[in-house]
Structure 1
Amino acid sequence: MNISQAARQSGLSAKALRYYESIHLLMPSRSPNGYREYSRADVETLQFIQRARSCGFSVDEVRALLELHNNPARHSHDAKVLVEEKLQQVERQLEVLKSMRKTLRGLADSCAGDDSPECAILNQLASGD
């Protein structure tokens, strides 16, 4: 199948497919005239990449997951370690976001939000309090 068909079936854009090829996550075959030809296995790989990326995995992490996926001698422990590391990263990001939300809520609550030029938000940001 051609790139537009593979993109449609994988849920990715043609641009994403070309990008994944450029970084060697996927290497579709080429027809004699140089056009990319995607197999069903290529589309399955693209779907794997898309699902992994939607879970927040970086390109390098996706590469590691793909290597495990394609290795029949793999150990599930290795995949679990990668997922647990990503989970810990997400947990840390959530804590940062919760703290940010608390700070923003405090800033919003401190401001009258009227037509006055006096603004508690700007004063707090300026003074670091």
Structure 2
Amino acid sequence: MKIGQVARETGLSVKTIRYYHDIKLVEARRGDNGYREYQQSQLAQLHFVARCKALGFSLEQCAQLLSLNARQDRTAAAVKSVATEQLLVVQEKVHQLQQLERQLSTLVSACDGSDRPECAILDSLNGSGCSHE
């Protein structure tokens, strides 16, 4: 299967698929004409990586999970460890976003939105509204 068809079937860009090949995440054989030729096994791996990336896994984690998926001697504990690591990263990001939401909400609430040039949001961003030190 040619890379364009693989891209259509996986939803990944041709550039991304080439990158994954170059970093040896999912490699295809080269035909006599020099073009990459993808088999069903590589297509399945690319679908797997796309699902991993949708969950926010890093490329390193994708490689770990691909390796574990291919091994019959894997343990669920090893897979869970990778997923738990990613869950902790996501939870930290959610926490940071919640803090950001509270800060922005405070700024927006402090501004009366009038036609006057004075603005509590700009005052705060300029460091004259409230102290964050």
Whole-Å separation in 2 of the counterparts to 1:74 and 1:29:
26
Question: What is the percent sequence identity of the aligned residues?
Answer: 37
CA drift at 1:76: 1.1
Whole-Å separation in 2 of the counterparts to 1:31 and 1:48:
24
Whole-Å separation in 1 of the counterparts to 2:46 and 2:81:
22
CA drift at 1:115: 2.1
Determine if the alignment matches structure 1 residue 28 to structure 2 residue 59. Answer: no
For normalisation by structure 2, the TM-score amounts to 0.93
Correspondence 1:75-90 to 2 at 5 A: 75-90=75-90
CA drift at 1:24: 0.6
Structure with the bigger RCO (C-alpha within 8 Å, sep 6+) is: 1
Correspondence 1:39-78 to 2 at 5 A: 39-78=39-78
CA drift at 1:92: 1.1
CA drift at 1:126: 2.1
3-state secondary structure, aligned to 2:25 = coil
Which digits, 9 at most, give the CA deviation of each residue in 1:37-95, with x for residues without a partner? 01011100000000000000011111111111111111110010111111111111111
Query: Where does the alignment leave 5 or more consecutive residues of structure 1 unmatched?
Result: none
Q: Counterpart of 2:113? A: 113
Query: Where does the alignment leave 5 or more consecutive residues of structure 2 unmatched?
Result: none
CA drift at 1:3: 0.6
Backbone CA RMSD of aligned residues = 1.0
Whole-Å separation in 1 of the counterparts to 2:16 and 2:89:
25
2:115 counterpart letter in structure 1: D
